[in-house]
Amino acid sequence: MANTDIGSIYAVALRNTRALEKQGLTQMERQLSGLERYPDYASVLRRHAETTKAQIGRLDKALADLGESPSGLKEAVTNVAGTIGAAVHATAQDETLKNLYAGYAYQYDQIAAYKSLAVIAERAGHSDHAALAKTAIEEETKAAEAIAQLIEPVTKTYLDLTLSGQKADS
């Protein structure tokens, strides 16, 4: 039977959002090792990886405020999913482009998760936590915008490298 009290629902939402952030961090860290030919892209990922670590810290604090802790199982599963996702793209000729597209879409997945988390936090009586979720929405929106600005230049670099016979992916 599903949890029907707002405190339990909120704790699960926090754990889910934290697991989502950990998955994203795993994917970003894995991608960074192959972006030497895309310094602007690597720079955006490095900055967002640091932002993501701060978001995880805020989620940890919110969980601690509730007397809760992250789900080890959820984190293990999402870390494996993040590793597999990056590994699957690594088998493709256009790995860099696929990772770019996935990262762009992932930002909007996180924006949706944080919007939902803000509503749940408010309903659970944690308006201070809702404010943290709204900060994360702003951060994820900025990351999505930064990635959007990279789509055309990264694609052009990918084409230039590939068409000249150079290695375009890691």
Query: Would the pLDDT of 120 be above 90?
Result: yes
| pTM of the predicted structure, to 2 decimals | 0.84
Three-class SS state of 36: coil
Mean pLDDT across the stretch 73-101?
61
| Euclidean distance between the first and the last CA atom of the chain, given in angstroms as a whole number | 46
Return the minimum-mean-pLDDT range out of 38-47, 90-99, 103-112. Answer: 90-99
Residues sharing a CB contact under 8 Å with residue 77, sequence separation 6 or more, in sequence order: 19
Query: Would the pLDDT of 155 be above 50?
Result: yes
**In whole angstroms, what is the distance from residue 24 CA to residue 103 CA?**
8
pLDDT-derived band of residue 74, with 50, 70 and 90 as boundaries? very low
Tell me what pLDDT residue 1 has. Answer: 45
Residues sharing a CB contact under 8 Å with residue 168, sequence separation 6 or more, in sequence order: 37, 94, 96, 157, 158, 161, 162
Torsion of CA 100, 14, 81, 88, to 10 degrees: -10
> What is each CA distance from 91 to 25, 29, 169, in whole angstroms?
20, 17, 10
Tell me what pLDDT residue 21 has. Answer: 96
Domains and CATH numbers, the chain: 6-163 (1.20.1260.10)
Residues sharing a CB contact under 8 Å with residue 158, sequence separation 6 or more, in sequence order: 94, 96, 97, 168
> What is each CA distance from 94 to 11, 60, 70, 100, 101, in whole angstroms?
39, 36, 35, 10, 11
Mean pLDDT across the stretch 49-76?
86
- pLDDT 10s digits, 1-46: 466 899 999 999 999 999 999 999 999 999 998 899 999 999 999 9
Q: What average pLDDT does the chain have?
A: 88
Which pair of tokens denotes residue 168? 């375009």
**In whole angstroms, what is the distance from residue 37 CA to residue 167 CA?**
9
Tell me what pLDDT residue 93 has. Answer: 72
